[in-house]
Structure 1
Amino acid sequence: MQISDLPYTDPGVPDARSGPRFLWWLGRNQAGGQLKSLAWGLLHFGGVMALPYGVGFAVQAVVDRSGGRLAFAGLLLVLAGVCLAFGDTMLHRTAVTNWITAAARVQQLLARRTAHLGSALTRRVAAGEVVAVSTGDVEKIGWFVEAVSRFTAAAVTVAAVCVALLIHQPDLGLVVALGVPLVALGVLPLLPRATRLADVQREKAGKATELASDTVAGLRVLRGIGGEELFLDRYRRASQDVRHAAVRSARMWSAISALQVLLPGALLIVVVWHGLGLVRDGRIEVGELVTVYSAVMLLTYPLRHFEEIAMAYSFSRPSAKRAARVLSLERTTTGGPDAGPVADPAGGADDPRTPPSGDLFDPVTGLLAPEGRLTAVVCGDPDEAGRLAERLGGHAALDEGDVPGPSVRLGEAPLDALPLDAARAVVLVQDKDPVLLSGTLSELLDVPASGNVTVDDALTAAECGDVLDALAQASVDEDPMAAPITERGRSLSGGQRQRLALARSLVTDPEVLVLDEPTSAVDSHTEARIADGLRTVRKGRTTVVCTSSPLLLDRAERVVFVHEGEVAAVGVHRVLVRTDPRYRAVVTRETEEEQRRSGSTANSTDAASPNGSGPVIEIEETA
């Protein structure tokens, strides 16, 4: 695999059971590149370690006054230099290729997983962690993957030199063979603490990144309430914590680096001292001592790769763990061989693969949204509303080991059994914090659509008139559709972003539209007009709105109250607000004291059980 061939046609299915398994999977998938890097590494290190033999041979030739052997030594040194230079060039080329292709593979896997999970991803993993994984972590993972082949080449070279010295000069070779393992493994006792300090540093850095991301996302609100300095102070403290942790980690790694200099130096002293004694006794020649001395001196170069691989693994292991954590998230799947035929969203009316239709039913809560009607859902817990909206889309995310619940059904078809693109084509979920990508308004609204709802109709229904006026002022030719929208729509207010996101969803015109708090950032007058526009545009289409707004609830054809994870009441807003105290408490924010004063508690004796849950109350308003 070459850099020019990126991106991968198929990055593969990663082994995301753990960080080390993920690293091993990456290495196996780059076996060709690893072998090339290993071969060039052996040539490079072979050239390096051939220099001592050439130098020793030349010294001995001068001592013996042999011109022919001196010329041969010079030729050997030239050949070693060529191998060293060419091998180093190609080693660097293949190593960088391995690094970049490994990082690109991880980025591609993360991008696919993010697109696969959609908004469910940030409900499972903190935004700061996702940013850390997709930026710095991929570089650290790529570093370890490419360092493995260079370390292997260095280890093979060191072993070969030790064996050669034992054969060529057993007296000094034995000292080297015993000393090199001590030099290579002498830093091992320090690595666990160094790894722990590095983990602490990365954990604090991840928290600081998440805090910075949250601060930037809410900067407009923070400025509005005067909380900007408070969050900046928090980030300063978090940043200082990261700095202190980095300094402590750097001290430990500097101690390891010092040992990597000290131990080879001590070995060199021992070799020279022992070698001088052997030369004085006449047991070895001067050239042989120079050869062994030079070999031990140059061994410090490949031995440095032992430190590098330890650092690379220490830094990449938590990075790989975070990446595996994201990649292990799965879409909820409860379908199987008996789940029925898979629908094709492109099928025609007479096609047996026609997209499913019918009532939307959630067996977990008992929620039923009749086909072609506007159903409002009220949840006592706002987080429960978000989870319900996610589940209704049929693409909730599961952590590894989680047991999925029963599938939401559209008509007779379980949504979890559909391919993800088919499920998203049939059911569109807009969560409470929709994302607006940068570009023009025209590009924002250029989405897959049925064609039944025009852009103008969608903008009118979402009450975007003032948004269009503001964008027209920002446009060069006063065309609001050509006006630029910044990343995440930061140049717009919260209400403007929310209305444009609603217009985008209405243009799509899916079979089922699920909206989670679509009007939480707009004023009551605008909200009332949006409610009327939503009911008009979505007439005859299945729409589910998770909200506690009385204005939206009053326009809904059917209201479902979900209490403690189960449907507790079904009816219309004006009746439920009079007859069900739990519903009224959620919608009107009525306190228990106000309930007692209004006599609500007495009226609810038959409607609720002692533990706060009771049978479903289905109430329809009569004329």
Structure 2
Amino acid sequence: MQIRQLPYPDPGVPDARSGPRFLLWLGRNQLGGQAKALAWGVLNFAAIAALPYPVGFAIEAVVDRSGGRLALAGALLLLAGAGIAVGDTMLHRTAVTNWITAAARIQQLLSRRAAELGAGLTRRVAAGEVVAVSTGDVEKIGWFIEALSRFLAAALTIVLVCVGLVLYQPALGAVVAIGLPLVALAVLPLLPPSTRRADIQREKAGRATELASDTVAGLRVLRGIGGEELFLERYRRASQEVRRAAVRSARLWSLIGAVQVMLPGLLMIAVVWYGVALARDGTISVGQLVTVYSTVALLSYPLRHFEEIAMAYSFSRPSAKRAARVLALRRDPVAGVSDAADTGTASTHEPLRGDLYDPDTGLLARSGEFTAVVCGDPDAAGRLAERLGGHAPDSAELPSVLLGGVALDGLEVTAARTAVLVQDKDPVLLSGTLSELLDVPASGQVGPLVALDAARCEDVLAALAQASVGVNGDPLRTRITERGRSLSGGQRQRLALARSLVADPEVLVLDEPTSAVDSHTEARIADGLGGLRRGRTTVVLTSSPLLLDRADRVVLLHKGAVVAAGTHRRLVESEPLYRAVVTRETDEEAAAREQVTRAEPSSAPWDGNGSTGASARTAGADGPADVEGPPDTATAELDEIEERA
């Protein structure tokens, strides 16, 4: 793989069972690049190690006054120099290519996993950890992949040199062959503590990054409550912890570096001392002594790669562990699901239609209707929205949401998102022009201006146009700052809603889409939403009476299960729990209302859309007033109840 061929057509399915397994998987996927780097590395290091031989040969030629042998020594020096130049250049080229291609592979895998999980990613992994993995961790993993081939080349070169020295001069060569492995392996006892310190440093750095990310994201709120100094002091403390951990780690690595300098020096002293004794006895010549000494001196360069690979692995192992943890997240934990979601393969299925049914809660959203869901717990509402979008549930034992009888968890990502679109309660606006914001995969039946009108974005367009220069009155050319920070919360919500309306999915799930707008605008949005989505399935998780009153059907969830369903007005009259959630009714108001109800006997007939007060009271603890079933039975049960009423 060459850099110009990036991105990968298919980055593959990673082995995310652990950090070392992920590193091994990356190495196996770059065997070709690693082999090239190994070959060029051996050429480079071998040429460096071979330099002393023509030098010693030249010394002996001068002593013997042999011009021919001196010329041959010069030719060998030129050949070794050429090998060093070519080998070093190509080694650097291939090693950097391995680094960049490995980092690109990881980035593609992380991007696809983030796109697959959507808003559910930050519910499972902290946003700061995702940032740390996609930036610093990717670089450190790429560093290890790049350093691995150079380390292997250095190790192979040292073995070859030791063998060559033993054959060239057995007495001195044996000393070098014994001493070099000891020098290379001397740092092994220091590696476990250095790895632990590196892990602690990376963990503290990840927490500091997460804290910084959260602080920046909530800067407007912090300024509103005067909390900037508080969070700044917290970040200072976190930063100092990272500094102290880095200093402790650096001390141990400096000790490893000192050992790597000291031991080769001691080996050279031993070689010189023993070699001088052999030269005095006439066992070896001066040229042979210079050759062996120079070889040992030059081998200090390949030996440094032993320290580098140890450091690279120590820093990349926790990074690989974090990356594997993110890549191990799945939206399709059910058995028998195709791996197409990992490869991004487009779906070949026809667009799904039909009722949306959640077996876990009993929620049924009928096809083509505007269904509102009232849930007193905002966190539970967020988890329900994630499930309705086909994302993996918190437990693999939970049943999958069904659309038209088809399990969403078992669909490819493209098919699931074509059918169901979930807008989170805190949608993100990307920087760029408004036209770019609304340029999303869509059915083509809803234009941007129509969607902006339905989301009641007139004042938003006016504010953007006023702040933009050179748009010539075209609101779609106005620019939005990063994450829409120059806009109010309500303006961001409306633009995000317009983006969802442009997509025009078969099923649109909105989690509190109007929580930050005023009641007048909310009523207009409810009218626009109902008109534009007529004939399409729309599910809105909200407790706003304005939205609930315009819904075709309202469903009340309590403790993770449907307890009642009907129109908003009927449920307000007949369901105390619903009334308490929607109207914020106090206990005193509820008691007074109950007294009035007892004083005025009435019958609450079934209106065809929900439960009566009598049915709700009859259910009691035995079950919900309006029990919903799967798509093939729920409608029949409701019709039967209506006939009895």
Matched, 1:32 2:32: yes
1:345–1:257 CA distance, 2 compared to 1 (3 A): closer
Q: What SS is found at the alignment partner of 2:414?
A: helix
1:88–1:415 CA distance, 2 compared to 1 (3 A): same
> Per-residue deviation at 1:362?
0.4
1:608–1:49 CA distance, 2 compared to 1 (3 A): farther
- Post-superposition Cα deviations, 1:581-603, rounded to whole Å, max 9, x if no partner, equal 44344334556687678769x99
Q: Which moved more, 1:377-386 or 1:150-159?
A: 377-386
TM-score (norm 2): 0.88
Matched, 1:491 2:486: yes
Pick aligned residue for 1:362 from 358, 364, 367: 358
Q: Which moved more, 1:267-276 or 1:550-559?
A: 550-559
Alignment partner, residue 605 of structure 2: none
> Per-residue deviation at 1:532?
2.6
Please tell me the residue identity of whatever aligns with 1:382.
P
The CA distance in 1 between the partners of 2:421 and 2:187, in whole Å, is 56
Contact 1:133/1:322 (8 A) holds in 2: yes
Q: What SS is found at the alignment partner of 1:562?
A: strand
The CA distance in 2 between the partners of 1:587 and 1:200, in whole Å, is 48
1:99-178 → structure 2 map (5 Å cutoff): 99-178=99-178
> Per-residue deviation at 1:105?
1.5
> Per-residue deviation at 1:531?
2.1
Q: Which moved more, 1:427-436 or 1:303-312?
A: 427-436
Contact 2:615/2:625 (8 A) holds in 1: no
The CA distance in 2 between the partners of 1:395 and 1:122, in whole Å, is 13
1:378-389 → structure 2 map (5 Å cutoff): 378-389=374-385
1:613–1:442 CA distance, 2 compared to 1 (3 A): farther
Alignment partner, residue 252 of structure 2: 252
The CA distance in 1 between the partners of 2:194 and 2:418, in whole Å, is 50
1:514–1:289 CA distance, 2 compared to 1 (3 A): same
- Post-superposition Cα deviations, 1:269-316, rounded to whole Å, max 9, x if no partner, equal 112122222222332222222111111111111010001111111111
In structure 2, runs of 5+ residues without a counterpart are 339-344, 599-612, 628-637
The CA distance in 2 between the partners of 1:277 and 1:594, in whole Å, is 106
The CA distance in 1 between the partners of 2:181 and 2:579, in whole Å, is 76
Q: Which moved more, 1:543-552 or 1:449-458?
A: 449-458
1:310-349 → structure 2 map (5 Å cutoff): 310-332=310-332, 334=334, 336=336
Alignment partner, residue 448 of structure 2: 455
Q: What SS is found at the alignment partner of 2:51?
A: helix
Alignment partner, residue 616 of structure 1: 624
> Per-residue deviation at 1:500?
0.6
Please tell me the residue identity of whatever aligns with 2:376.
G
> Per-residue deviation at 1:117?
2.2
Contact 2:116/2:413 (8 A) holds in 1: yes
1:172-211 → structure 2 map (5 Å cutoff): 172-211=172-211
Alignment partner, residue 50 of structure 1: 50
Matched, 1:415 2:408: yes
Pick aligned residue for 1:504 from 495, 499, 507: 499
The CA distance in 2 between the partners of 1:594 and 1:227, in whole Å, is 38
1:281–1:346 CA distance, 2 compared to 1 (3 A): closer
Alignment partner, residue 513 of structure 1: 508
The CA distance in 1 between the partners of 2:254 and 2:615, in whole Å, is 73
Count of residues in correspondence between the two structures: 608
The CA distance in 1 between the partners of 2:210 and 2:526, in whole Å, is 35
Contact 1:375/1:556 (8 A) holds in 2: yes
> Per-residue deviation at 1:456?
3.4
The CA distance in 1 between the partners of 2:198 and 2:150, in whole Å, is 23
Q: Which moved more, 1:237-246 or 1:523-532?
A: 523-532
1:78-117 → structure 2 map (5 Å cutoff): 78-117=78-117
The CA distance in 2 between the partners of 1:335 and 1:426, in whole Å, is 22
1:222-237 → structure 2 map (5 Å cutoff): 222-237=222-237
1:519-558 → structure 2 map (5 Å cutoff): 519-558=514-553
Matched, 1:559 2:554: yes
Contact 2:184/2:306 (8 A) holds in 1: yes
Q: What SS is found at the alignment partner of 2:17?
A: coil
> Per-residue deviation at 1:233?
2.0
Contact 1:608/1:614 (8 A) holds in 2: no
1:37–1:397 CA distance, 2 compared to 1 (3 A): farther
Q: What SS is found at the alignment partner of 2:543?
A: coil
1:87–1:455 CA distance, 2 compared to 1 (3 A): closer
Please tell me the residue identity of whatever aligns with 2:623.
P
> Per-residue deviation at 1:150?
0.9
- Post-superposition Cα deviations, 1:170-220, rounded to whole Å, max 9, x if no partner, equal 222222122112211111111111111111111111111111112222222
Pick aligned residue for 2:387 from 374, 386, 391: 391
> Per-residue deviation at 1:461?
2.5
The CA distance in 2 between the partners of 1:404 and 1:206, in whole Å, is 32
- Post-superposition Cα deviations, 1:124-174, rounded to whole Å, max 9, x if no partner, equal 221111111211222111111121111111001101111122222222222
Alignment partner, residue 434 of structure 1: 427
Please tell me the residue identity of whatever aligns with 1:127.
A
Matched, 1:473 2:462: no
Matched, 1:375 2:375: no
The CA distance in 1 between the partners of 2:373 and 2:483, in whole Å, is 27
- Post-superposition Cα deviations, 1:58-116, rounded to whole Å, max 9, x if no partner, equal 22333333333333222222211111111111111111111111111211222222222
Pick aligned residue for 1:443 from 436, 448, 456: 436
Alignment partner, residue 341 of structure 1: none
1:598–1:211 CA distance, 2 compared to 1 (3 A): farther
Alignment partner, residue 350 of structure 1: none
Alignment partner, residue 581 of structure 2: 586
Please tell me the residue identity of whatever aligns with 1:183.
V
Contact 1:568/1:613 (8 A) holds in 2: no
The CA distance in 2 between the partners of 1:574 and 1:372, in whole Å, is 21
Contact 2:618/2:625 (8 A) holds in 1: no
The CA distance in 2 between the partners of 1:562 and 1:76, in whole Å, is 85
1:315–1:609 CA distance, 2 compared to 1 (3 A): farther
What is the root-mean-square deviation of aligned Cα atoms in Å?
3.0
1:397–1:181 CA distance, 2 compared to 1 (3 A): farther
Identical positions, percent: 72
The CA distance in 1 between the partners of 2:491 and 2:77, in whole Å, is 73
The CA distance in 2 between the partners of 1:49 and 1:337, in whole Å, is 55
Contact 2:564/2:616 (8 A) holds in 1: no
Please tell me the residue identity of whatever aligns with 2:382.
G
The CA distance in 2 between the partners of 1:265 and 1:184, in whole Å, is 13
Q: What SS is found at the alignment partner of 1:119?
A: helix
Please tell me the residue identity of whatever aligns with 2:626.
E
Contact 1:120/1:390 (8 A) holds in 2: yes
Matched, 1:406 2:399: yes
Q: What SS is found at the alignment partner of 2:555?
A: strand
Please tell me the residue identity of whatever aligns with 2:260.
Q
1:614–1:458 CA distance, 2 compared to 1 (3 A): farther
The CA distance in 2 between the partners of 1:358 and 1:319, in whole Å, is 44
Contact 2:332/2:410 (8 A) holds in 1: no
- Post-superposition Cα deviations, 1:525-571, rounded to whole Å, max 9, x if no partner, equal 32222223222222232111111223322332222222222222223
> Per-residue deviation at 1:483?
0.7
The CA distance in 2 between the partners of 1:328 and 1:569, in whole Å, is 38
Q: What SS is found at the alignment partner of 2:371?
A: strand
